[in-house]
Amino acid sequence: MSVIEKARPGGAARPPRRGGRGRRTALALVLLALAAAGATLWWSRACESVLEPAPAPVTQPPPEPPPLGATEPPPLEPEAAPVVEPPPAPAEPRVTLAESDALARELAGAVSRSPLLAPALRGSGLVERFVAIVDQLAEGNAPRRELAALRPQGAFLVLGREPELRIDPGSYHRYDALAQAIAGIDARAAVAAYRRLAALCEESYRELGYPEGGFEQRLRTALALLGSTPQIDPSPALVAQVKRYEFADPDLESLSDAQKQLLRMGPKNAALVATKVRELEAALGPVAR
């Protein structure tokens, strides 16, 4: 049923008034629509956060195989440890010529063990005596005074009568022990001992009035002289002189006194000494240039 209101003078007509129940229904519908829209929005976001898939793991592609015929690079070698140099050995204390006897005896112990040579190591001035012996031998002289401790026992023997005098081979046996002692010398140890004492030998050599730097050459000269001694007949002919005998062969008599003394030791003993002399020359090595 419609209701028509009368128009008031001077005013517009009012629309018909709706009831309060209609307004409440419309408002409820609006609120319900808003709630539904909010719930839908919340639900969609919640589902997205729950159902969102986890990211796939990132995998590295396998290494490509080397081309055919290619060789694999060699494995890296570990870095070598640094080489640590040992500290230098402390220098030996300088031994003076006047203090050298103890050192000379110590070194001589490694050169020969023969008790026969012990008397030659007695007393003082061993380096000076060694230098004097070498100097005498290089000059061709027999160092009888310096080697008096090694003088053999017994007398020099001869056979026959003039003009048929000859050396008695029995005389050679006086030198057998000395020749064996010389043959037993360790040539390398002897040269090593000399090298230890070389500076003192040079000092003693200068004290004899020689220029500096010449003792080793003097030593080589002495060894070469003894090594060049010829071999002789076991019983060579002799000529009697005042208080001595000489070789009847002029070639033998023209040899140096040192070489003739070596011949008086006999062929066998002289050969032992000559062999040792050659060993000493070899141990000394070539002359330094």
pLDDT band at 119 (very low <50, low <70, confident <90, very high): confident
Burial class of residue 288 in the structure, from the number of CB atoms within 10 Å of its CB (0-12 exposed, 13-18 middle, 19+ buried): exposed
Share of the chain above pLDDT 90, in %: 56
Do strands 166-167 and 158-159 pair parallel, antiparallel, or not at all (unpaired)? Answer: antiparallel
> What does the pLDDT read at residue 56?
52
Q: Per the structure block, which two tokens stand in for 186?
A: 């360790």
163: cis peptide before it, omega within 30°? yes
**Element holding 244 (H helix, E strand):** strand 244-247
**Element holding 40 (H helix, E strand):** helix 20-51
Q: Say whether pTM exceeds 0.75.
A: no
Tell me the pLDDT tens digit for each residue of 150-178: 888 888 999 999 889 999 999 999 999 99
> What does the pLDDT read at residue 66?
53
Which of left, alpha, beta for 38 (phi over 0: left; psi -120 to 50: alpha)? alpha
Q: What angle do CA 21, 22, 26 make, to 5 degrees?
A: 120
> What does the pLDDT read at residue 201?
97
Nearest alpha-carbon partner for 121 in 97, 133, 104 = 104
Instruction: Please tell me whether residue 26 adopts helix, strand or coil conformation.
Output: helix
> What does the pLDDT read at residue 118?
85
What stretches of 70-175 show up as alpha helix (H) in DSSP?
101-111, 126-138
Q: Residue 57 and residue 146: Cα distance in Å, rounded?
A: 102
